[in-house]
Amino acid sequence: MAISVSASDQALPGAPLSARLTPPQVWGIVLLAPYILVFLAFVLYPVCYGLWLARQPSSYVALAHDPIFARAAVNTLIFLVIGINIKMLIALFLSGFFVQERRWIKWLSVIFILPWAVPSIPTILSIRFMLNPEWGMVNQLIFKFTGDDGPNWLNDPAVALAMAIGVHIWKSLPFWTLILITGRLAISHDLFEAADVDGATFWQKFRYITWPSMQTLYITCTLLSMIWTLGDFNSVYLLTGGGPADLTHVLSTLGIRYLRLDQLNLAMASIVCAMPLVLPLVYFMMKRLSR
Amino acid sequence: MRLPSLREVSTEARLLLIGIPVFIWTMVPIYHMFLFAISPKEDAFSGKFWPDHPTLHNFEIVFREQHYFLRDFYIQFWNSLVIAAAVGALTLFVATAAAFSISRLRVPGGRIVMNLALFTYFIPAAFLAVPMYRTMATYGLLNNRWSLILAMMTIASPYAIWVLKQASDKLPVELDEAAVMDGATTLQIFRLVYIPLMMPSLVAIGTYAVLLAWNEYLYAFLLLSNDRDITLPVALGNFLAADDSPWELLMTTGFIYALPPAAIYYAFRRYMVGGLTAGAVKS
């Protein structure tokens, strides 16, 4: 900023813009221009267009009368509040496991990252077939051991949603565990040694050393994961397709459902309805990251 | 050789009690996919842990495009490849230029652009998909591979700019000043000083953008629809359209599709872990 002030001081008033900028600043603008163009054409314009489509109050009335929308909103909340918290708690626990210094744990951590490294489509479809009531591996195992037919996993909305959450956890647990591991490794080892000398228990070490230093990271991760999970289309769409009877939709798949039914206004209105949930999270994250 | 104490044994046992379930949980869906890929149809559906007659026949069918669902396999693979490479290259170009401009040249308004980019990063991609689809239709780009390339670049660049800006803020200002003293122009600083120093971050970001584009399903499925234009993940999703989908071929194709990103990930793991996780969440 200091450069720009001094530059405009030196320039003659009324001189053309190019004369008032130093060469590095001209280059700065030229180099920033591609992203600004991308932003204007593919972020600002679509967002404004979307908001314009969502302007009619009648869309919101229609949404309020659509039971699938209410169901999708509840499913989204379950996904975020229960699913993400379970995932982050497991990640916190596993990060403690993976920082143990053993050769086999090193190897396991390399394998553990696989769900994150491979694309989600084939693995989700693989899980989908495993849960197939007749031919899937899960029910065949149940039959082998108990002689009973297993449940029709994806045909019960509650179970199907739980399975979709499971798929989401399977896919993204490695990433968050990895981040929490870096958080744990940043804690000074001396603290734990001192605690050991004082005879602190496992739980006391966690409560008074690990948690205080990881608290901020953990909460940031949870919020970030919540924002991203709002956009998790694949886990639900490819596992259940929103079914049975459109009862397992979440907001991200619902928007696409309306789009396919050619109800663009409803699609945008349903997304606008999610904004009270998204914007506070985004505001909080922006404050945190732009420091 | 010293016998381990009882305490050590019990610690080890407890660790194994965690490690074994973690291993099974991680591997089951991937192993299941692999199992289908090497099983003839009747073995795949029998629920066995290892096929009676393991075979590579499924791979042969895929590579020879000998099935209705696979008749465009090579062109779809090529589409995925071209789109991923283009997204990687364009994202690197746009993000490196922007990060250099914001961080090193301190262009007026750079901070605002950075915040706008960060804001974009936090819009869930599935929410932006609906208006993006309409926008691409307005621009007349639907069913054109550029629509997917531009859309994925839009999604990849905010994070890319942010990570690259964090990395370039760490480079000492004296470097630029010394180069200016020697009479270097801005472009020379960019090319000869900045790019070489930023290499590790650039590798991480390039890999990130390529993998993001290769793995993308939703945007590809919305923006492209002709059988010869779509990418592999969309083709995999299309298998579900039939009631009697050839699951063993679906899993084989999926396995082939999953190999390149896994290989890239493990090859660049050093950069990915250092460059991305540190940037992903600043505590």
CA distance B170 to B166: 7
Complex-level ipTM: 0.87
Residue B179: which residues within 8 A CB-CB, separation 6 or more? B188, B189, B192, B193
Question: Which residues in chain B touch residue A104, judged by CB atoms under 8 angstroms apart?
Answer: 19
What proportion of chain B, given as a percentage, has pLDDT over 90?
40
Chain B residue with the nearest C-alpha to that of A178: B277
Long-range contacts of A186-193 (CB under 8 A, 24+ apart): A186/A213, A186/B283, A187/A213, A187/A214
* Residue B137 CB coordination number (10 Å): 13
A262: left (phi over 0), alpha (psi -120 to 50) or beta: left
Could you give phi then psi for residue A48, rounded to 5 degrees? Answer: -65, -45
Name the residue type at position A63.
Answer: L
> Best of A29, A118, A181 to disrupt the B interface by mutation (most B CBs within 10 Å)?
A118
| DSSP code, position A133 | T
Nearest-5° Cα angle at B55, B52 to B61: 140
pLDDT in tens for each of the 291 residues of chain A? 334 444 444 444 455 555 677 878 888 899 999 999 999 999 999 999 999 988 888 889 988 888 899 999 999 999 999 999 999 999 999 999 999 888 999 899 889 989 988 999 999 999 998 888 878 888 888 888 887 877 888 888 899 999 999 999 999 999 899 889 888 888 888 888 888 888 888 888 888 888 998 888 898 889 888 888 888 888 899 898 887 888 889 888 888 888 888 888 888 998 898 888 888 888 888 887 766
Count A/B contacts: CB-CB distance under 8 Å. Answer: 281
Question: E strand or H helix at B10, and its extent?
Answer: helix B6-37
Residues 198-257 of B with CB under 8 A from A: 214-215, 217-218, 222, 233, 236-237, 239-240, 247, 250-251, 253-255, 257
Single pTM value for the model: 0.88
Question: Which residues in chain A touch residue B281, judged by CB atoms under 8 angstroms apart?
Answer: 179, 217, 220-221, 224
Name the residue type at position A195.
Answer: A
Omega cis (within 30) before A244 = yes
CA distance B251 to A261: 30
Question: Which residues in chain A touch residue B273, judged by CB atoms under 8 angstroms apart?
Answer: 178
CA distance A34 to B151: 14
Do A115 and B26 make contact, defined as CB atoms within 8 angstroms? yes
CA distance A81 to B126: 19
pLDDT in tens for each of the 283 residues of chain B? 567 788 888 888 989 999 999 999 999 999 999 998 888 877 777 777 788 878 888 888 888 888 878 888 999 999 999 999 999 999 999 999 999 999 988 888 888 999 899 888 888 888 899 899 999 999 999 889 999 999 999 999 998 998 899 888 888 888 888 888 888 888 888 888 889 988 888 988 998 899 999 999 999 999 998 888 899 999 998 888 777 778 888 899 999 999 999 998 888 877 766 555 555 544 3
CA distance B262 to B27: 14
Do B127 and A274 make contact, defined as CB atoms within 8 angstroms? yes
Q: Which two tokens stand for residue A99?
A: 């920082």
Chain A residue with the nearest C-alpha to that of B45: A135
Name the residue type at position B49.
Answer: F
> Cα A26 to chain center, whole Å?
38
Question: Which residues in chain A touch residue B18, judged by CB atoms under 8 angstroms apart?
Answer: 94, 97
Smallest Cβ–Cβ distance between B218 and the set A3, A115, A233 belongs to A233
